[in-house]
Structure 1
Amino acid sequence: MKAHNICPIITFAVSALGLTSCMFGPDYKRPDTDVPAAFRGAFATDASIADLPWWKVFKNKELQNLLSETYANNHDLRSMIANVEKARQYVTIANAPLFPWANYGANVSKGQNYNSGSIYNSGNMTTNPAAIQAGISWELDLWGKTRRSTEAAVAEYLASEEGQRALMLSLLSQVADGYLSLLQLDEQLSIMKDSVSSYTESYRLFKEQMQGEVGDVLQVSSAEAALSAAKAQIPLLESQIASLENTLSAIAGRVPGKISRSGDLVSIANAVKIPAGIPAQILNRRPDIRQKEQMLRAANARVGVAIANYFPSISLTAAAGTATSDLRNVAYRTRGNGWGITPSVTGPIFQGGTLRASEKAAKADYEAAKNDYEQTVLNALAEVSSTLVSRTKLNEVNIQQDNAVKAYLTSMNAAMDRYKTGLSDYFEVLYAQQNLFPAQVSRSQYRYQYASSLVKLYVALGGGWNMTNQQMMKGK
């Protein structure tokens, strides 16, 4: 009898036994989470910056290239992708018991009064006994244990995909923020070089005046101190730039080296409007929240597995084959054929409290996952609201700092004019310079913080949520 002919027998046996299946354990339901109607710091709107792909938010060409390179070559991301594939394969493994398992076996031996390891009387003849057998075994999932296990495996697989998306957003945040930081350091380096040129001129004039017995030691020493302090900043900034370039190179999966860049902080920060959307949207858009929910779903399914363990396992085993006393006759089946079907039931009686403890542990795991999910939601809402408020306030800070820089520049030009007309000495010019250059550095820092808030907000809202991981990696 061929192995595939056994399947109707199994189906008949299941029907004859009157077995029906069910699933123990609670069906998954998303926890009720209290979310506000609007984010603190923004009006509620259907549109969200998270609806846009990252290349339409960060429109700087060099930054786009760096992000594409990172998604293509980052080793942590490659490792995560491999783990996602592993989780996907575990779904197949968990689901496999739902289907009959087929196997085969064969043996042949040669001997006198001997057959397959047993001594028997064959008239002292030397024979070549052989047997071929095929079988199917099937554990009936009457209590839903396998289906709940599969549900848990699917949830863990989806959680791993969300973990990959979370890593991709984290890489986007690191690379984009690092790129903006490089632009800030470039701007500060330019300010420091300008200040060195200006302080050098001040020091030269004061020194000449002192040599001509017009100036004094206070002016010269003040100019020299300002010049030395400005010079000290240049190698420090250059070191920071090189270190950050090396870090970004490593993230992008390449050897340390220069990072190409262009543009300025203001243009990148204001390249796109930033509607935040509705708070409830982040439940379906932030990968960390979606990951926690899938982990909660898996924990919920394991409760069903733990409950199903109380009940017996029912399985069916069927076998068919042929045997002969001579290998030469196997093909012609001149000896007996055989088949059989065996239902079996195994179940727990006493296991020292293991089953009860397993159920309690599964329920505790669910409660932990539930609280973890709810806390992640609250953290996400707080992160988005804080970023929105910070961006609004940083915009006000930048406006005021621009005014301060303009005022200091006017003051320095006025001091220079007074010096040229003999109404004051050059000490007033030096004083104005010492106010202007730090104000320019502060403005550069505030511009960076404002531009960085765009990155933080896009990531906090689950930017690019409507793209697959492959689409996000591929880019435009």
Structure 2
Amino acid sequence: MLKRIIYTCLGAAAFSLAVSGCKTPELIQKDVNDAVPEHYANSDQDTTNTASEVVWQDYFSDPYLKALIDTALSNNQELNITLQEIQIAQNEVRVRKGEILPSVSVGAGAGVDKVGRYTSQGANDANTDIKPGEEMPDPLQDYMLGAYATWEVDIWHKLRNAKKSAMTRYLASVEGKNFMVTNLVSEIAKSYYELMALDNQLAIVKQNIEIQNNALEIVKYQKNAARVTELAVRRFQAQVLNTKSLQYGIQQEIVETENRINFLVGRFPQKVERNPNAFGALAPEAIQAGIPSQLLANRPDIRQAELELAASKIDIKVAKADFYPSLEITAGVGFNAFNPSYLFTSPQSLIYSLAGELVAPLINRNAIKANYMTANAKQIQAIYNYEKTILNAYVEVANQLSAIQNLEQSYTLKSQEVEALTQSIAISNELFNSARADYMEVLLTQRDALESKFELIETKMKQMNAKVNIYQALGGGWK
């Protein structure tokens, strides 16, 4: 009987399609362009890729930095929020999977019904010729126990496609989590190197304060000896005060950078353990960028965009199925009696039902058309987002490869500048003591030397940041 009902409904569905026409609107078509250049500028075509072959535990050698990253991967609140989003996406898959299967529920009920004597039903029962002992109980009790099932027959694979779309978005959420891990590792590493750079700048400021204090004492001695004026003393004092003010500004930056790291790690403000003396010995290792096509497999954000695109294509199929008839089958079986003692008497108390319902949109399908066109527009959006993500990834790698080369040259020249200015401090002091240079030359030399040392440390920090950025841009840090 069930087969007969299904076949009948399928025939009715075909008839409904013929009547309604079910012509779907024309969609906008766009091809996906995922082509990338064969190689990076100023880079070989070696397929060796540091990001895909080296995990972050090996890429970063500083034990304090590795401990911070490891703690952040467990405690970072934003990452934990993303993990819950993954769980939500996984639950959505379960919901879609459940919609494909029949829904079965069990129910039980009891009631009583007293009909008034002077009602149409009561008067009719009273006038009916019923033998004694066979009259209807008054009041009439009702007891029921049964199971009910509903099932939407997935004729057009609408439910299967909805489940497939949910599964694809679940996988995309996993890639989104991986991309967040990459960004988290990168942000902690860059903040850590910035903190070490500030420590070294603070040490340089303190050294310069000592040097300038010594120079100030010499100028005071020369002023007493009438070799210089009070103006020279005041200028040296101003230089010392200016350098001391730099010290407190750097100390505040250290506090803020430490707290930024603590926030990323998921803890309240506290001292961040590090070894500032190791900063000067840091040097970015050689990076193998591989070839651009490897970005499609290594970068989590590209894979996420690709999965979102795949899900949007499936959504169009789901929206298209709304134009076609839907078939729902309902069934029930159970027992019903007016006396509990008769409830399980079979077949007298046995009840069952089986019905099929076929519904097809015929008139005023504007909402369905709008959903269909919206799904198509979202697919076009997903295509552009996928292409943009690929382009952005390539640009990031190209920029960092160029930055590594330029910063290496800049650091070499800055080192030479610092060495020259450091030597010029001693020379200017000697010339000043022998009255062959005025105090302004000494002040300018000290200021230039301090600035050059600051710039050298900043260049070193940029080098280490470039090391982090290229690892992130190539898709490393999440494994």
Q: CA RMSD for the aligned pairs?
A: 2.9
Distance in 1 separating the partners of 2:347 and 2:367 = 53
1:86 corresponds in structure 2 to 88
The question of whether the paired residues in 1 share the 8 Å contact of 2:33 and 2:387 is answered with no
1:16 deviates by: 8.2
1:277 maps onto 2:279 in alignment: no
2:147 corresponds in structure 1 to 134
2:333 corresponds in structure 1 to 320
Distance in 2 separating the partners of 1:11 and 1:204 = 107
Which amino acid in 1 is paired with 2:47?
Answer: D
The question of whether the paired residues in 1 share the 8 Å contact of 2:108 and 2:146 is answered with yes
Distance in 1 separating the partners of 2:346 and 2:113 = 21
Identity %: 24
Query: Using a 3 Å threshold, how does the CA distance of structure 1 residues 351 and 18 change in structure 2: closer, same or farther?
Result: closer
The question of whether the paired residues in 1 share the 8 Å contact of 2:342 and 2:349 is answered with no
The question of whether the paired residues in 1 share the 8 Å contact of 2:69 and 2:188 is answered with yes
TM-score (normalised: structure 2):
0.86
The question of whether the paired residues in 1 share the 8 Å contact of 2:185 and 2:477 is answered with no
Distance in 2 separating the partners of 1:281 and 1:350 = 51
1:38 deviates by: 1.2
TM-score (normalised: structure 1):
0.86
Distance in 2 separating the partners of 1:289 and 1:303 = 22
Which amino acid in 2 is paired with 1:92?
Answer: R
Select the residue among 426, 441, 463 that pairs with 1:450: 463
1:300 corresponds in structure 2 to 313
Query: Using a 3 Å threshold, how does the CA distance of structure 1 residues 54 and 408 change in structure 2: closer, same or farther?
Result: same
Which amino acid in 2 is paired with 1:93?
Answer: V
Write out the 4+ residue segments of structure 1 that deviate beyond 6 Å after TM superposition. 15-21
1:432 deviates by: 3.4
What per-residue deviation string (whole Å, max 9, x for no partner) do you get for residues 44-73 of structure 1? 322222122111111111111111221211
Query: Using a 3 Å threshold, how does the CA distance of structure 1 residues 302 and 256 change in structure 2: closer, same or farther?
Result: same
* Residues 319-328 or 368-377, more deviating: 319-328
1:472 corresponds in structure 2 to none
For structure 2, the residue ranges without an aligned partner over 5 or more in a row are 15-23, 126-133
* Residues 136-145 or 158-167, more deviating: 158-167
1:205 corresponds in structure 2 to 218
Query: Using a 3 Å threshold, how does the CA distance of structure 1 residues 154 and 30 change in structure 2: closer, same or farther?
Result: farther
The question of whether the paired residues in 2 share the 8 Å contact of 1:62 and 1:260 is answered with yes
Distance in 2 separating the partners of 1:419 and 1:349 = 99
* Secondary structure, counterpart of 2:353 in structure 1: strand
1:100 maps onto 2:98 in alignment: no
1:10 deviates by: 5.0
* Secondary structure, counterpart of 2:327 in structure 1: strand
2:411 corresponds in structure 1 to 398
Which amino acid in 2 is paired with 1:448?
Answer: M
The question of whether the paired residues in 2 share the 8 Å contact of 1:316 and 1:341 is answered with yes
1:42 deviates by: 2.3
1:45 corresponds in structure 2 to 46
* Secondary structure, counterpart of 2:39 in structure 1: coil
1:214 maps onto 2:227 in alignment: yes
1:182 deviates by: 0.5
2:18 corresponds in structure 1 to none
The question of whether the paired residues in 2 share the 8 Å contact of 1:113 and 1:124 is answered with no
The structure with the larger Rg is 2
1:301 deviates by: 1.1
Q: For 1:351-390, what aligned pairs fall within 5 Å after superposition?
A: 351-390=364-403
What per-residue deviation string (whole Å, max 9, x for no partner) do you get for residues 439-467 of structure 1? 111100000001001111111111145x3
1:224 deviates by: 2.0
The question of whether the paired residues in 2 share the 8 Å contact of 1:112 and 1:124 is answered with no
For structure 1, the residue ranges without an aligned partner over 5 or more in a row are 1-8, 468-476
The question of whether the paired residues in 2 share the 8 Å contact of 1:128 and 1:327 is answered with no
Query: Using a 3 Å threshold, how does the CA distance of structure 1 residues 267 and 326 change in structure 2: closer, same or farther?
Result: farther
2:173 corresponds in structure 1 to 160
The question of whether the paired residues in 1 share the 8 Å contact of 2:191 and 2:261 is answered with yes
The question of whether the paired residues in 1 share the 8 Å contact of 2:335 and 2:344 is answered with no
1:151 maps onto 2:164 in alignment: yes
The question of whether the paired residues in 2 share the 8 Å contact of 1:416 and 1:426 is answered with no
Which amino acid in 2 is paired with 1:66?
Answer: L
* Secondary structure, counterpart of 2:61 in structure 1: coil
Query: Using a 3 Å threshold, how does the CA distance of structure 1 residues 39 and 15 change in structure 2: closer, same or farther?
Result: farther
1:199 deviates by: 0.5
Which amino acid in 2 is paired with 1:215?
Answer: V
Distance in 1 separating the partners of 2:31 and 2:46 = 24
Distance in 1 separating the partners of 2:442 and 2:209 = 14
Select the residue among 428, 431, 434 that pairs with 2:447: 434
